[in-house]
Structure 1
Amino acid sequence: MAHSAHSAAEDRTVADLPAGRLRGAIEGGVAVFRAVPYAAPPVGGLRWRPARPHPGWHGVRDATADGPSAPQMYQEGGDPVLGGHGSPPFDEDCLTLNIWTPAADGARRPVLLWIHGGGFVSGSGSLPGYSGETFARDGDLVVVSINYRIGPLGYLYLGPEGGDGSGPADANHWLTDQLAALRWVRENIAALGGDPDRITVAGQSGGAVSTAALAGHPEAQGLIRRVILQSPPFGLDLPDPEAYLERTAAYLELAGVKDAEELRALPWPALIGAGGGLFARTMRWGYWPTPFLPVIDGTSLLRHPARTLLHGAAADLDVMIGWTREEANFGFALDEGYAAATRDRVTSRIAETFGAEAAPGVYAAYASARPGARPADVLMDLITDELFRVPSVQLAEERAALGRPVWAYQFDLPTPAYEGRLGAAHCLELPFVFDNFDQWSHAPFLAGLAPAVRDGLAHSMHQAWIAFVRTGDPNHPDLPDWQPYDAHARTTMRFDSVVTPLGDPAATSRLLHQSARPDRTSGHAPARLI
């Protein structure tokens, strides 16, 4: 009997993959395999090079402990909202993924591939909050989370020759990582109980931009069935290579080197340190800071990720998209400098989008939509609309016009933390989607939420995500009827203490921004050097 029990446990924790043999562990009733390499380590001569296939391994690879996360800035004690978004150890050898599966068998379960966000500079697929355990157990899914290059190592553009004369080098190394991970999942997931023909890619914030970019990439065609876009900052204007080289030059100066060859010789902590300086160089008042951005180079990224789901095979994917009601409060509500903003200064900021003549009227429209609004509230609602809500709604509108509607939602539940100043801020939906609040105990923005309200909403959202991954339709028995977004009803599910579908809740914002200056392709100006 003892031998039989041991064999059963061994069967659940050992998997034979095309890449090699893995030994994982049982956690929360599901099998977990951690720090599995999906691409060759991007070190030495492979730094700032497209991801290369991993050669695999011989023998049984231990997969019971997390590997290093991608190098990034780190503050002891975390931040006042999330409490931190990535912890040591960090290392350039970080191209690994984690897998949660009910069993490494031949059951061919739907697969959820999660891409973390973090403003293109932070985050990790190994964060406890991104554990796939609840999805695997509650939804009978196979869940994969990935680490990929971020900050200067993933997003710095060094020029068409990679800066060292050794041959063409694509931009967007982060995207080559994610393509490599997707290919690895396609080739190996059947041995882990997953169905390679039913892969949903999901991401939040910068991870949602990644998800859209991946969905539209020619090399990903046929590999993805559906996508979930949580709070994508599609309002970002993304640079072309020529425009990006201006910030590359500033970064080289901050790093204390004269060219890319010298930059390649620096240890990664020096690269991350120089990235901190680029924050200051690119920061503008009233804009979300983005020192590193994807670059639309016409090769690795053909068009803005917000447009990819309107073209080619990507137009046929099932899409869920949503935003939180007060996205921008995440970055601005606790900043005393922004709290003291004057009406004149906010009106000047509005003029950068709408023009000086229209700006006072736009300010008045925002103020009337939020009774008792301070200038700072108007500014945060403007940023939320420009960067997140309006471009997401525009994608839904254009998909509906093509006859390929999306499922749209708005997360409205405000957190009582910090006297309610955060509202329904960016990232707040994440613990509800994963339904794993015990893994978010470090996060200050969850303080004070009533458990009954919290847990009921989490159940509704978590099951909706499971249903969508399984079927392409988020409806389930404990959810009010959720219809796709179309040009007539514009149905958007409101996730709050009471979950209910609403007709066109973004109407005011949508119509207001339709009148913005026609020479602007989106509402959010790129960070420029000062």
Structure 2
Amino acid sequence: MIKSLVIGFATGLSLMAPASAANPTVDAPAGKMIGTADNGVSLYRGIPYAAAPVGHLRWKPPVALPRWNDVRSATAFGPACVQPVYKKPNIYTNPPARMSEDCLTLNVFAPAGAKKLPVLVWIHGGALVTGYSHEPIYDAVRIAKQGGIVVVSINYRLGILGYLAHPELSAENAAGISGNYGLQDQIAALQWVKRNIGAFGGDSDNVTIAGESAGALSAMYLMVSPAARGLFHKSIVQSGYMISSPELKIAKHGMPSAEAAGSTAMGALGAKSLADLRAMDAIKLTQDAATKGYGPWGTVDGHFLTRQLVDTWDRGEQARVPVMAGFNAGEIRSLGVLLPPAPADATAYEAAIHAKYDDLATPFLQLYPSSSIKESMLATTRDALYGWTSARLAIGQTAVGDRAYLYLFDHGYPAADDNGLHAFHAAELPYVFGTASSTPPNWPKIPDDLANRRLSTAMMSYWTSFAKTGRPTAAGQPAWPAYGKDGRYMRFAGTPQPNVKLFPGMFALHEASMCRRRAAGDQPWNWNTGIISPVLTKAAGCR
């Protein structure tokens, strides 16, 4: 059955298409294909890199495709992976025009005449629930042309279709594991890049993985996954979060096992068996699972993810590659769902912090004072998720002898700042891609002025030079030193501004918090911080 699925995918979608000056062609190991040209960049859209088992075969690893025989038309993006459609819009809302279970495609942006250029593989965000490779904000024409790099953007399975673990699924797997299907898709895409990108003018020995939010979480998963080792050579982690993950078979760190969570989801969806789940319509299944509270995460299965992210970095077992990592000053301004209700007053706020943080309460209140509860709560959750993670990545890579580059995006503009969204989550994306005119419909409009264009040009240069050499540089802009022993970083606030010691005391506080939670064994570390933190008692080996 899998074989017939693969043959159908490989042959049924291959279309003969005439070549012309406006339609570049390529003959890759995967097969011949014809694309389009845009402003000196050759675009190949909707290329299948694997087959996703669907319907009664869903929740299996991606399947490699044979070479197709005809000339494939690669002129239209593939469908997005199935995902919920939310009725209440927000600044990120930009639903895909098409969705399908059969969605494992990627897009290649290559400067005309490209030869052995560095490759950047972009992994979209969306909480592992939503998003797709061809969102307009990720249009890579400008960054590919200006930076002289080949950009690949990928789809991967999402939500319950991408991350469900369940005892029945583990039983039918030779290794006794389940979950992590979306992560396996990403690994399959990198394997495709390794085999094929040379035909597009890319260098398979100079690949950078990059992503924002859930894409950044995915980049960290790839950095620790043995199955991804050697498939990339640098990593860019934008607003990543090194939170605790469920273990496959045991409840730990305050989380049920991934298999138990899958069993709960099955019951909530009214299914009595895996066969029932596989018989459900993919769109309805995904929508209902999200509505009923199923949350997708990478699963510590001993195979694709061998241990918690923090444990891997503590042991120095992560991929030994240069890393660029950073976050935005206003991350939580657009993610209010992560904040608890504010306490009644300063007295209640301080009492809650003292009750939760014990001897850490004094340094906590110095960083996040009661004199401005709203701003302190925004900063607390920002730092516990994104700030601490970015600093931990920089410190961890430096410790194993790799270069690490830390940044803070602190740039605002009227439409964002006037609505309380200064440097909000993902606000850096249109600057990195040069897509200020292609943001989602409700995104605060970026002024088309010289200052914003210059900032975008500078950030594209830093990002693409890092993809080329592992060192971010930009002509006419300040040098960006590696993190090193002095804690150096780059602040993007109107202009690039080198600095040292980002938010002194921030990392130490949240590192101590995570350490105590990990030692307790029954407390997760994520956005349950500040006034909703568990009680953090002193633990051996922790500050």
User: TM-score scaled to structure 2, two decimals?
Assistant: 0.84
Residue of structure 2 aligned with 1:491, choices 482, 488, 492? 488
Match of 2:264 among 250, 253, 256: 250
- Aligned equivalents of 2:406, 2:116: Cα separation in 1: 28
CA distance in 1, matches of 2:76, 2:311: 38
CA distance in 2, matches of 1:263, 1:477: 55
Cα distance in 1 between the residues matched to 2:474 and 2:120: 18
Task: Establish whether residue 122 from structure 1 lines up as the match of residue 154 from structure 2.
Answer: no
- CA separation in 1, counterparts of 2:423 and 2:350? 24
- State the match for 2:21 in structure 1: 9
Corresponding position: 1:501 with 2:501 = no
Q: Does 1:390 align with 2:388?
A: yes
Q: Which moved more, 1:153-162 or 1:514-523?
A: 514-523
- Secondary structure of the corresponding residue to residue 209 of structure 2: strand
The aligned residue for residue 247 of structure 2 is 240
Q: Deviations over 1:127-181 (max 9, x none)?
A: 1111111122111211100000010000111237446689845420011101110
Q: How does 1:87-166 map to 2 (within 5 A)?
A: 87-103=96-112, 107-159=115-167, 161-162=169-170
1:283-322 map, 5 Å? 291-305=295-309, 308=312, 314-322=318-326
Please give the alpha-carbon distance, in whole angstroms, between the structure 2 residues aligned to 1:201 and 1:517.
Answer: 27
Q: Which residue type is aligned with residue 259 of structure 2?
A: L
Shift in Å at residue 311 of structure 1? 6.1
Match of 1:262 in 2: 276
2-side partners of 1:334 and 1:154: how far apart?
23
Q: Determine the structure 1 residue equivalent to 2:439.
A: 440
Check the 8 A contact 1:116/1:123 in 2, yes or no.
yes
Partner of 2:536: none
> Shift of residue 272 of structure 1?
1.3
Root mean square deviation of aligned Cα? 2.9
Tell me the SS of whatever aligns to 2:451. helix
The residue aligned with 1:276 is 290
Are 1:111 and 1:142, in contact at CA under 8 Å, matched by a contact in 2? yes
- 1:203 Cα deviation after fit: 0.7
Question: Which among 510, 513, 516 is matched to residue 516 of structure 1?
Answer: 513
Q: Please report how far the alpha carbon of residue 13 of structure 1 lies from its aligned counterpart in structure 2 after TM superposition.
A: 1.2
In 2: Cα distance, 1:116 partner to 1:345 partner? 40
Q: In structure 2, what residue type is equivalent to 1:23?
A: I
Unaligned runs of 5+ in 2: 1-17, 251-256, 519-523, 533-543
Distance 1:313 1:450 in 2: 44
Residues in 2 aligned to 1:348 and 1:276: alpha-carbon distance in whole angstroms = 35
Cα displacement (A) at 1:443 = 4.0
Q: How big is the shift at 1:72? A: 0.7
Do 1:409 and 1:495's aligned partners in 2 also have CA atoms closer than 8 Å?
yes
1:17 CA drift (Å): 1.0
Deviation string for 1:293-342 (max 9, x for gaps)? Answer: 1111111111234555676785421111111112122211899x847875
CA distance in 1: counterparts of 2:94 and 2:312, whole angstroms: 28
Mapped pair 1:173 → 2:167: no
- Say if 2:462 and 2:474, in contact at 8 Å, map to a contact too: yes
C-alpha separation in 2, matches of 1:334 and 1:218? 32
Question: Quick one: which amino acid aligns to residue 320 of structure 1?
Answer: M
Which residue identity lines up with residue 298 of structure 1 in the other structure? G
Deviation at 1:9, TM superposition (A): 1.1
Please list every run of 5 or more consecutive structure 1 residues that lacks an aligned counterpart in the other structure.
1-5, 283-290
The number of aligned residues is 500
Asked if structure 2 preserves the Cα contact closer than 8 Å seen for 1:315 and 1:404, the reply is no
Instruction: Report the CA distance between 1:186 and its aligned residue.
Output: 0.7
SS state of the match for residue 110, structure 1?
strand
* SS at 1:252 equivalent: helix
What is the CA–CA distance in structure 2 between the aligned matches of 1:258 and 1:362, rounded to whole Å? 48
Match runs of 1:360-509 below 5 Å: 362-363=364-365, 365-367=367-369, 373=372, 375-416=373-414, 417=416, 419-440=418-439, 442-444=441-443, 446-447=444-445, 449=447, 451-487=449-485, 489-509=486-506
| Preserved CA contact (<8 Å) 1:309 1:315 | no
How far apart in 2 are the matches of 1:303 and 1:413? 36
Superposed displacement of residue 379, structure 1: 1.8
